[in-house]
Amino acid sequence: MLRILGKIQRIGVVTEPLPKIEEPALAEVGAQIKACVGELFGGSLAIRQVDAGSCNGCELEIHALNNPYYGIERFGVHFVASPRHADMLLVTGPVSRHMEAALRRTYDATPEPKLVIAVGECGANGGEFGVSYASCGAVTNVIPVDAVIRGCPPTPLDLMRGILEAIGKQSSR
């Protein structure tokens, strides 16, 4: 136990303040997000992540949002286990035909008001996989999409920025 406490003390807090992010505007967005999340979602934004056919690259970066460097929970953003608890769907992949029905059902199970973000080149436009007998391509070909985060995969910073912007867009509607 002492070793654990010692380690914790030596490492300290590695979480990075948002203004460090390359883009200056993000400092502002960072301040806004808490306000937006507060106003729109009662202080906490619940995200249900859906892999609808991804190569798993995008998931690795979404995972990273929870590591101590990004610590997305400090903005009131957290990932939930059921679409019924979610305000937002974060959907990756080209939507495989085999996941099409599951994605529709997940969308239907998410209560209104809901936001859908398509993640990655694949989610945005089908990426390397495109549209085929096995793939529906972009997420928007299957369910309505509010925002897109590009990149293959998008970096954790891209993801954070994209999630913040999507909320910002929603609140200014």
Q: Which residues form the interface with other proteins (CB under 8 A)?
A: 3-4, 7-8, 11, 14, 49-64, 66-69, 79, 81-83, 93-94, 96-102, 104-106, 127-136, 152-153, 155
133 binds, among ligand SF4, other proteins, none (CB under 5 to 8 A by kind): other proteins
Rounded distance between C-alpha atoms, residue 30 and residue 32, angstroms: 5
Based on CB atoms, which residue is closest to other proteins, 13 or 173? 13
Based on CB atoms, which residue is closest to other proteins, 5 or 172? 5
Quote the least distance from Cβ 133 to ligand SF4, whole Å: 18
Quote the least distance from Cβ 159 to ligand SF4, whole Å: 11
Quote the least distance from Cβ 162 to ligand SF4, whole Å: 13
Would you call 44 exposed, middle or buried from its count of C-beta atoms within 10 A (0-12, 13-18, 19+)? middle
In single-letter form, the type of residue at position 20 comes to K
169 binds, among ligand SF4, other proteins, none (CB under 5 to 8 A by kind): none
Based on CB atoms, which residue is closest to ligand SF4, 83 or 153? 153
68 binds, among ligand SF4, other proteins, none (CB under 5 to 8 A by kind): other proteins
SS (H, E, C) the chain: CHHHHHHHHHHCCCCCCHHHCCCCHHHHHHHHHHHHHHHHHCCCEEEEEEECCCCCHHHHHHHHCCCCCCCHHHHCEEECCCHHHCCEEEEECCCEHHHHHHHHHHHHHCCCCCEEEEEHHHHHHCCCCCCCCCECCCHHHCCCCCEEECCCCCCHHHHHHHHHHHHHHHHCC
Residues engaged in binding ligand SF4 (CB under 6 A): 54-55, 57-58, 92-93, 120-122, 127-128, 152-153
Based on CB atoms, which residue is closest to other proteins, 35 or 102? 102
